[in-house]
Structure 1
Amino acid sequence: MHLYFSLLFLLPITIANGSITLRQTPPTQYIIVNNCPTALPLFIAGDLVDTIPFQGSTTKFRSGDVPFINTNANGGSINSTGTLRAGFKANGGFYYFVKDPNRINTGIKVEPQHQLTDTGFCVPIICEDVGCSNSFTLPPNDQTYPPTGPIAPTPPFYQCPFSNVTYVVTFCPSGNWAT
């Protein structure tokens, strides 16, 4: 009985009129576009989930954090060597890039599909070469995320702290491999 109570305590619930309703956060939609010169293997959280044809796209729904969306095409890897990765932190609506400081395989653009605000939230971000300054070289950890508030965080953190945001993630936004 104690375990049952403990598990219920962790679930988001609403109690109204004597009935219990579980509240679920809808999964986030990611529209992933391949603008690179060839088909791309698509990795999400380290797992190969699809191959996107040249000039094709795929839509994925994910609940919770999506540590990375990336490809190993053009000399990249499923981890970090020679690779640019887009990351998403559900709690707070953060998104960011992590790059190898020596080489990246593809450029990436992330565009939250939400009304832009005048406080810097939900802005599109792009990195197309190893010199882009809006990227981490190591993944952030839970202690490094800034607090959420009325002002957008300082890059390389970006934030779109609204519900039902769709992210468009474009590989090779200029149509070429990274430079």
Structure 2
Amino acid sequence: MTSYIGEVRWFPFDYEVQGWAICDGRKLTINEDTQALFVLIGNYFGGDGRTTFALPDLRGRTIAGINNNPPQYLGTLFGFESVLLSEKQMPTHSHDARSVSAAGNRLTANGAIPAGTTFNLYGGGSTVPLSTQMVGFAGYGQPHDNMQPFLVLNACICYQGAFPTRQATSENEGEAS
């Protein structure tokens, strides 16, 4: 099976195969072994583009295709592993809780809960809002996980293999392959 330089494959083991490098974001020196890969990916993923370039960092990441609207350019990172929601990000809503001020005169709430007590829990009468001390803010201001379900595999990029030639199209017919 032909491996193309720059091709990314997923492996179910935790080591690098001959001619492949783990996509861990490390910087590589541009040399005889890495020159062809550098020609293809340049410094999209880091490095100075003169003496070094970086591999894509796929640790803990999913992959998305290039999209021009909205712009999602090659090598750009998007998204977060955790998110802290602020009050401004939540829709306006309320949790209106009311009670009656009359003394209880019924043992059950129309069969909604089991009754095992001997005193009256619910009373009739008009409802009044609960004190703001009874209904308040909740939470601790901590971020929550924001990740889709995933399976961990080892992403590697080929640096020794066949050089991929560009397919001729009307847009690039004059370019050298």
| Shared fold, TM over 0.5 | no
The TM tier, using the shorter chain, reads under 0.3
Which structure is higher in RCO with an 8 Å CA cutoff and minimum separation 6?
Answer: 2
Q: Identify, as 1 or 2, the structure richer in strand.
A: 1
Q: Return the TM-score normalized by structure 1.
A: 0.20
